[in-house]
Amino acid sequence: MMYYLLLILSCYSVTVHAQEYQIPFIVSPAFEESKQLGYALCAHSNSVYKKEHKLGVQAQILRPYDILSYDVFMDWQKPFLTPDSVLSEYTFSGHNTIAYTLIDSLAKEIVLNGALMTIDSISHNGVLLSYNSFTQPYNGEWKCIPGNTLKTKDTNIMTIWYTYKGNGRDGLFVFPKGMYVDQYPGTGPNYVEEKLVYTMSEPEDARIWMPCNDIPNDKARSSITVRVPFKPNDGENNISVAANGNLISIKEGPLSSDIQYRDFYFRDTTLIPTYLMVANASIFKVYSDWYVSDNKKDSIEIINYVWQKDYDGTKTDGSEYNATYSLGMTVGMMKAFTDKLVPYPFKRYGHTSVQPFSFGGMEHQTQTTINRTWLAGKSGYGIAHELMHQWTGDLVTCGTWGDIWLNEGGATWGEALWGESWGGKTEYMNRMLAKRRDYLNINNKNQQPPIYGISIDIIFNYATTYAKSSWIYHMLRTMLGDSLYYSTLHKYMNDYAYGNAITDDFKSTFKKYAPNPKIPYDIFFDQWVMKPGHPILQFASLREFKENNGDTITQYIIQQKQSAINIPNVFHLPFTITFYGENGKKSTQDIIMTDRVYEGYVKLPFRVTKAVIDEQHDILAEKDTVSGVFLSAESDYIPTNCHAIVYSNAIESRIKVFSTESRDVNIHIYTIQGRNIASISESILSNEQKDLLLPDLQEGSYFISIQGMAKPILLNWQHYKQ
């Protein structure tokens, strides 16, 4: 089956006011539910993200302060008390109390992020600042000059009162009850079941709904309070709020005799970046599942917020939404990841199901937001992906958006890891091969950008940020073996827990805890992460020679054929060649390819009927399978007048090489097992015979291969010391 990159422009028709909006996003071609429903896991749209709001940089932003905590209050009564129709503008008031310390004692101003909001007033260390002491947001930023209230050594406390004013389609989303969403296979027409307000921030939209330092590498503790309308006589038919961390309290207050309000107060005591902060509100059915560790000592509550209709669903054939069935597999996923990685790193977990949602899922810390369509029961891998992010993305967060591959590659590889927990290595490889197909089909001309440092406008490019990046994790696993790979991954997660890591940190961890890999880490990361593309491997020659005792010697030549701008001319690759004979006979040879052409020899007790490059899929490559024995017809391998002979005397062994054409030749000496133990490089002029000294080796049988001639020459050398 062919898979293609789909750029979908999703237009939601609004029945009231006939208003429309468009949200384009990238989907995973191999993701079955995305093909059916048009949604991709973690394919976060940034096309609706206003250019003037974003920083758009890859380097770590170093501002002269460190945020210690956010304490956000948002009054969402107005969005909920407006009529159930789509409005051109929504507003809410809020305030954010920020605790911070100065890194640079000479700093005189504090630059923060903000957009689609008005800064109403600011209190700094208990002093109300004048209006002239701060600016209004422009190009996503604004600044405050605290003057003599600024403490250079102690903690500063700044409270910012602000008013959001926007269309409810950017950073903060507002949808009326009954709004038509779309029609999906199986479930039919979809409508907004209850009025819905939620935030969605990645990469840089938190600044739209709260003033903050909106960068991934300044993590802080957070508290979020959301005020929503409350009708005491409506019982459970009232608005609930979901946010990061634990629900500490629900406080009620009067607005009038008929309508009151409730303040939902959440607190997350672990460090969090702004893009992972979230608040969602609707009339939800709230229920819990529990993960209990094998030792029965640790338990994690999984709190799910879904619409009542989806909680009541009973069908499992995809014809209706069934929350308990679809989300019930989360417990097993948490066990699978905990068994292989470090224990689940937060106090609780949960899901909030929303619709419309122009993404598949978003790994908000402890409270993932998912598209309602995932409740149809066909999105297990998407749910696993978002849960895996709690380790790769939330526990350890990318230091810059240029390092986003650490988050998304880890979560995409986590899909296969979950598959392995119930389907063994077969299911693991099925998932990894699906990601390989996605990447190769999208990147069929090797034109995708490198994994690292990708432009913020395309950081959620599925081919590289997700599919190819997942193979970085896979290739490290196959190169190091499970024991060393997982122990190093544990060290990485523990060393950078609740903090940030960049690509060099990830690489340095493997250098420290898993030294001496088959391919040096500097080369590995340079060719796979820092540069674009992938290797294309082909057999150039597959020949057989008979020894006097009847044994067959197979000579094979593999070439790297990739060729494009900035793509490595040579990839350094560890992989296996598998040889097949009649009646199921099979033999393998492990090689490490460090040149554009690799020549190998293997002694086989059978005639080769088929040879396969990297049958175990240890590397991400386009690769060859050949049937039968052949000599390539390419010009580099057409025979011309050339010969070589080995001779020995009591003192030394030598080789004479002759060619009718000028050649740069490479002479390789192999053991009978195919190990290259010596090499000689020499230039030969036209019609010249070179007489070259061979190295002093132990007695035994060797093969001598001469490359660079019009055809490869293979000699069987029986070396004896006299």
**Secondary structure of 614-679 in the HEC alphabet?**
CCCCCCCCECCEEECCEECCCHHHCCCCEEEEEEECCCCEEEEEEECCCEEEEEEEEECCCCEEEE
User: What is the pLDDT, as a whole number, of residue 345?
Assistant: 98
pLDDT at 464 over 90: yes
Stronger pLDDT, 277 or 235, i.e. the higher one:
277
Region 368-391 average pLDDT: 98
pLDDT at 672 over 80: no
Is 534-635 in the same CATH topology as 400-530? no
pLDDT at 496 over 50: yes
User: What is the pLDDT, as a whole number, of residue 638?
Assistant: 33
User: What is the pLDDT, as a whole number, of residue 32?
Assistant: 38
Radius of gyration of the chain (CA): 31
Region 90-97 average pLDDT: 98
Report CA-CA distances (Å) from 415 to 292, 432, 480: 21, 9, 20
pLDDT band at 711 (very low <50, low <70, confident <90, very high): low
Is the Cα dihedral 435, 610, 636, 693 positive or negative?
Answer: positive
Report whether 666 contacts 684 (CB < 8 A).
Answer: no
pLDDT at 354 over 80: yes
pLDDT band at 544 (very low <50, low <70, confident <90, very high): confident
How far apart, in whole angstroms, are the C-alpha atoms of residue 530 and residue 453?
A: 8
Region 160-188 average pLDDT: 95
Region 294-307 average pLDDT: 92
Q: What is the phi-psi region of residue 491: left when phi exceeds 0, alpha when psi lies from -120 to 50, beta otherwise? A: alpha
User: What is the pLDDT, as a whole number, of residue 607?
Assistant: 86
Instruction: Give strand ranges (E) for 467-535.
Output: 499-501
CATH number for the domain running over 59-390: 2.60.40.1730
User: What is the pLDDT, as a whole number, of residue 648?
Assistant: 65
Lowest mean pLDDT among 78-92, 145-159, 483-497, 609-623: 78-92
User: What is the pLDDT, as a whole number, of residue 295?
Assistant: 80
CA proximity to 353, closest of 422, 294, 283? 283
pLDDT at 9 over 50: no
pLDDT band at 148 (very low <50, low <70, confident <90, very high): very high
What is the 3-class SS of 474-491, one letter each residue? HHHHHHHCHHHHHHHHHH
User: What is the pLDDT, as a whole number, of residue 409?
Assistant: 99
CA proximity to 212, closest of 335, 114, 85? 114
How far apart, in whole angstroms, are the C-alpha atoms of residue 482 and residue 475?
A: 11
Six token digits for residue 71: 């304490």
508-517 confidence digits (pLDDT tens): 999 999 999 9
Six token digits for residue 150: 């600024």
Cis before residue 203, ω within 30 degrees of 0? Answer: yes
621-657 confidence digits (pLDDT tens): 999 888 877 654 333 333 345 667 776 665 778 887 8
Highest mean pLDDT, choosing among 19-23, 191-195, 542-546, 597-601: 191-195
422-438 confidence digits (pLDDT tens): 999 999 999 999 999 99
How far apart, in whole angstroms, are the C-alpha atoms of residue 178 and residue 480?
A: 54
pLDDT band at 86 (very low <50, low <70, confident <90, very high): confident
User: What is the pLDDT, as a whole number, of residue 631?
Assistant: 55
Report whether 405 contacts 452 (CB < 8 A).
Answer: yes
User: What is the pLDDT, as a whole number, of residue 641?
Assistant: 53
CATH number for the domain running over 534-635: 2.60.40.1840
User: What number of H helices and E strands is found in the chain?
Assistant: 12, 41
DSSP codes joined into one string, 103-143: SSTT---EEEE--SEEEEEEEETTEEPPGGGB---BTTEEE
How far apart, in whole angstroms, are the C-alpha atoms of residue 413 and residue 485?
A: 14
Q: Assign domain 400-530 to its CATH architecture.
A: Orthogonal Bundle (1.10)
What is the 3-class SS of 42-104, one letter each residue? CCCCCCCCCHHHCCCCCCCCCCCEEEEEEEEEEECHHHHHCCCCCCCCEEEEEEEEEEEEECC
pLDDT at 532 over 60: yes
User: What is the pLDDT, as a whole number, of residue 558?
Assistant: 94
CATH number for the domain running over 639-722: 2.60.40.3080
How far apart, in whole angstroms, are the C-alpha atoms of residue 307 and residue 310?
A: 5
231 DSSP 8-state letter: -
Per-position b or e across 109-137, b if 16+ CB within 10 A of its CB:
ebebbbbbbebeebbbbeeebeeebbeeb
Region 556-565 average pLDDT: 92
Beta strands 597-604 and 688-693, pairing class: unpaired
Cis before residue 356, ω within 30 degrees of 0? Answer: yes
User: What is the pLDDT, as a whole number, of residue 48?
Assistant: 32
Report CA-CA distances (Å) from 697 to 584, 664, 672, 674, 680: 37, 24, 13, 15, 14
The CA-to-CA distance between both ends of the chain, in Å, stands at 63
Region 335-341 average pLDDT: 98
224-272 confidence digits (pLDDT tens): 999 999 998 888 899 999 999 999 999 999 866 667 999 999 999 999 9
The residue type at 601: Y
pLDDT at 722 over 60: no
Is the Cα dihedral 52, 54, 60, 66 positive or negative?
Answer: positive
User: What is the pLDDT, as a whole number, of residue 720?
Assistant: 60
pLDDT at 24 over 80: no
Domain boundaries, the chain: 59-390, 400-530, 534-635, 639-722
Residue 218 CA to its chain's centroid (Å):
21
pLDDT at 499 over 50: yes
Six token digits for residue 333: 């996923």
Region 202-230 average pLDDT: 98
Average pLDDT along the chain: 87
Quote the pTM value.
0.84
Region 330-340 average pLDDT: 98
Six token digits for residue 244: 């990061």
Beta strands 299-306 and 348-354, pairing class: parallel
Residue 605 CA to its chain's centroid (Å):
44
